[in-house]
């Protein structure tokens, strides 16, 4: 019998790899802009492979790729009829890959982009969107459900209420934009406290902010609540001046001219990429601070997740190929290496 999310969290950190949209966009299987996971229906084997890559890298959770597979997005690209098949297929793929390891399957709902504070009609539509997606996740037998990248407390409350009806464990993570507060003008910590009171099992932040600009807020959440805390930053070097990955701008004057509108988001963020060492450091720090639902969001690759897993003391399957520079032809120290190359190393 597989251990559930809450048992695992009680025993230590749980890793949840994310960022499928960015990775599959880079690989050429979905489009930046609308960011709809069409790949789930059009190239399902690619989604399966990516899940498997993350599983090998140490993810404890396979999150169904239903992010933005919701009614508002499908309408935008004229594929509303594909809504249900897309969700069911994404859930089936996640289940299949999770069963190859000891991983949990998570259902996923996210920001609807139609929520409007104080508008009852929008609240009704949001709830209906969440209900249909959560219903399909329950049918698929998921272990728990994540509501993520939500920047309105009001929208997160609806999401949590819909998840709570299922009796499954719930994870709610906010997206914190440049202002450093939720869009209803509530601090992240206050919002998290409200979500705790409403019965969530895990609360925290995901996406939008890199490690440096996310951690201060997750610490505040950690201090404010008693439930488990989640931290899933983007692997980009955000700064106090540019705290979100949307706000990052190219600094190299030689390269600025070729980036449309000088906005590096979303497909020119490469120069800001965090290394796996920074991700490892994040993992150690987050664990020490008592955060235990950890991952990396948009921009993450399997190498980041492996670094996170290893930082938490794990040895996932992919660790078989973790770096070993002792056999490098010039930087190595293996006695079988040619001495002349080793002496030439500092001239490389």
- Cβ(234)–Cβ(201) below 8 Å: no
Specify which residues 205 forms β-bridges with. Answer: 174, 231
Binding letters toward Zn ion, positions 250-289, x by CB under 5 A: ----------------------------------------
Confirm or reject binding of residue 16 to Zn ion (CB under 5 A): no
CB of 207 to Zn ion, least distance (A): 3
Annotate 274-332 with DSSP letters as a single string: PPHHHHHHHHHHHHHTT--EE---TT--HHHHHHHHHHTT---GGGGGS--GGG-TTT-
Q: Is residue 312 helix, strand or coil?
A: coil
Confirm or reject binding of residue 202 to Zn ion (CB under 5 A): no
Q: What Rg value do the Cα atoms of the chain yield, rounded?
A: 21
Position among 195, 298, 311, 312 found at the interface with Zn ion (CB under 5 A): 298
- Say how far apart CA 195 and CA 208 lie, in whole Å: 20
Confirm or reject binding of residue 308 to Zn ion (CB under 5 A): no
Cβ proximity to Zn ion: between 123 and 208 the closer is 208
Confirm or reject binding of residue 297 to Zn ion (CB under 5 A): yes
Cβ proximity to Zn ion: between 123 and 150 the closer is 150
CA–CA distances in Å: residue 183 to residues 17, 151, 179: 26, 6, 9
CB of 298 to Zn ion, least distance (A): 3
Q: Is the dihedral of CA 117, 123, 127, 133 positive or negative?
A: negative
- Cβ(237)–Cβ(250) below 8 Å: no
- Say how far apart CA 209 and CA 221 lie, in whole Å: 15
CB of 120 to Zn ion, least distance (A): 29
Confirm or reject binding of residue 230 to Zn ion (CB under 5 A): no
**φ and ψ at residue 214, rounded to 5 degrees:** -95, -40
| # residues contacting Zn ion (CB under 5 A) | 3
- Cβ(107)–Cβ(64) below 8 Å: yes
CB of 128 to Zn ion, least distance (A): 24
Confirm or reject binding of residue 207 to Zn ion (CB under 5 A): yes
CB of 19 to Zn ion, least distance (A): 6
CB of 245 to Zn ion, least distance (A): 8
Contacting range for Zn ion; rule: CB under 5 A; set: 83-91, 110-118, 203-211, 314-322: 203-211
Cβ proximity to Zn ion: between 14 and 123 the closer is 14
Contacting range for Zn ion; rule: CB under 5 A; set: 45-53, 69-77, 202-210, 215-223: 202-210
Joined tokens for residue 209: 């902010």
Residue recorded with tokens 């040619």 = 338
Contacting range for Zn ion; rule: CB under 5 A; set: 29-37, 61-69, 214-222, 292-300: 292-300
Query: What is the contact surface with Zn ion in residues (CB under 5 A)?
Result: 207, 297-298
């Amino acid at each position: 019998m597989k251990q559930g999310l809450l048992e695992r969290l009680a025993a230590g950190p749980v890793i949840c790899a994310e960022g499928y949209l960015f990775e599959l966009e880079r690989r050429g299987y979905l489009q930046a802009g609308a960011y709809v996971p069409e790949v789930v229906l059009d190239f399902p084997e690619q989604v399966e492979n990516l899940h498997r890559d993350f599983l090998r890298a140490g993810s404890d959770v396979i999150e169904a790729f239903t992010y933005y597979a919701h009614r508002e997005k499908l309408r935008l690209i004229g594929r509303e009829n594909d809504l249900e098949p897309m969700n069911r297929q994404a859930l089936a793929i996640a289940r299949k890959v999770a069963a190859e390891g000891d991983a949990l399957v998570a259902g996923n709902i996210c920001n609807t982009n139609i929520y409007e504070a104080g508008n009852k009609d929008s609240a009704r539509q949001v709830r209906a969107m969440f209900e249909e997606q959560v219903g399909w996740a329950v049918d698929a037998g998921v272990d728990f459900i994540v509501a993520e990248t939500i920047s309105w407390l009001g929208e997160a409350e609806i999401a949590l209420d819909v998840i709570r009806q299922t009796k499954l464990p719930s994870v709610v993570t906010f997206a914190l934009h440049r202002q450093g507060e939720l869009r209803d003008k509530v601090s992240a910590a206050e919002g998290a406290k409200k979500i705790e009171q409403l019965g969530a099992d895990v609360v925290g932040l995901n996406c939008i902010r890199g490690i440096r600009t996310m951690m201060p807020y997750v610490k505040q959440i950690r201090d404010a609540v008693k439930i488990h805390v989640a931290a899933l930053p983007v692997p980009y070097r955000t700064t106090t001046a540019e705290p979100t990955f949307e706000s990052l701008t190219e600094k190299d004057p030689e390269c600025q001219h070729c980036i449309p509108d000088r906005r590096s988001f979303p497909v020119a963020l490469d120069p800001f990429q965090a290394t796996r060492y920074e991700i490892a450091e994040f993992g150690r720090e987050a664990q020490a601070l008592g955060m235990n639902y950890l991952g990396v969001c948009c921009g993450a690759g399997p190498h980041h997740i492996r670094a996170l897993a290893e930082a938490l003391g794990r040895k996932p399957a992919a660790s078989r190929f973790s770096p070993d520079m002792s056999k490098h032809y010039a930087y190595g120290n293996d006695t079988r290496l040619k001495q002349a190359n080793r002496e030439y190393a500092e001239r490389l």
